[in-house]
A and B are shown apart, each in its own frame.
Chain A
């Protein structure tokens, strides 16, 4: 049941990322080519919090290849993969490596590094360092866009299961009983309408014996 739940959520997230990526490709945000809002990154960031690192990496790869085959070309896949890998490494470091970084900070890093990865791939393809100025501009723009997508995740984190909120410090008070109902982020699992039951710990053997 829980494996099916994870699979269904994964499929849902990939679908949402594909739709968002397609919609973004239909319009540009300014005169500088390559600037996008990066809403797919917000879904990926949410996945990191919700589903963990291995599943999120798989979803990123699925999104890159599916969107490349559906809406782009082999070239698109090449640059998307470069950006996706570098961005993912940065967001993993911010969410699972460093403690005390909020989704906004993780989004900023993810947005900036996504553009770094893509321009790096372009520089390797053209074998020139002359795109460094373009990369610098995109770092700043990507950071701003990443901050926006990180803010989206902040507003969505209330939908995370309680144990995931607790793990990443989104629960304001661990002793939820003392706070009672109505206090954001403190209700125990199952008491909030629409709460999903917590996923089992990914690496814990002891939890299976309880």
Chain B
């Protein structure tokens, strides 16, 4: 290894550290009006105030967000886009991508996200299925209210 290699490696490490800092600083985008809730097994989210729950699941499909899904108990959410299908299992504590018919199933291998582990996961609060462009984000109640501009 040569001397310039040390500088190159230092530059790469610096890039990684900058990205780490940026990931802590940048906040999630505010909610935008989108499609109605998908949570058929949990019941459709009512209009008006956000249902009381400890955590909420925000589902993004492509560039659009669905209404927040309050995690009130065990349930299943199926997202179908033509031949693509993603099945999400939720419970009061969190969510997991139970199955998907994407080629590599990497979204399934990302594991379960809960309020307790979301700061420790590599994907943080997200579960993403890139081929199907589906992304799940787990929010606490405070974050959900902040997103909707409502008082806690």
A-side residues, CB < 8 A to B, are: 31-34, 72-73, 75-76, 79, 94, 98-102, 104-106, 108-109, 112, 116, 122, 125-137, 139-140, 143, 147
Looking at chain B, what size class is its interface with the partner chain? 35 or more
Instruction: Produce 1/0 per residue, B124-141, CB < 8 A to A.
Output: 111010110101010000
Instruction: Produce 1/0 per residue, B1-21, CB < 8 A to A.
Output: 111110011001101110110
- Report whether A122 and B9 are in contact in the complex, using a CB–CB cutoff of 8 Å: no
With A128-B60, A134-B122, A136-B23 as contacts: A102 and B15 at CB distance below 8 Å:
no
Q: Who on chain A is nearest to B15 by CB?
A: A139
Contacts A104-B5, A108-B12 given; 20 further ones with Cβ under 8 A?
A: A76-B103, A98-B8, A100-B3, A101-B8, A102-B1, A105-B8, A112-B15, A122-B130, A126-B130, A128-B29, A128-B60, A128-B135, A129-B22, A132-B26, A133-B122, A135-B19, A136-B19, A136-B23, A139-B12, A143-B16
Give 9 A-B contacts (CB < 8 Å), ordered by A residue: A100-B2, A101-B5, A130-B28, A132-B20, A132-B26, A137-B122, A139-B12, A139-B15, A143-B13
Closest chain-B Cβ to A172's Cβ sits at a distance in Å of 13
State the main secondary structure of chain B at its contact with A.
mixed
Q: Who on chain A is nearest to B134 by CB?
A: A126
Residues of B within 8 Å of A105, CB to CB, are 1-2, 4-5, 8-9
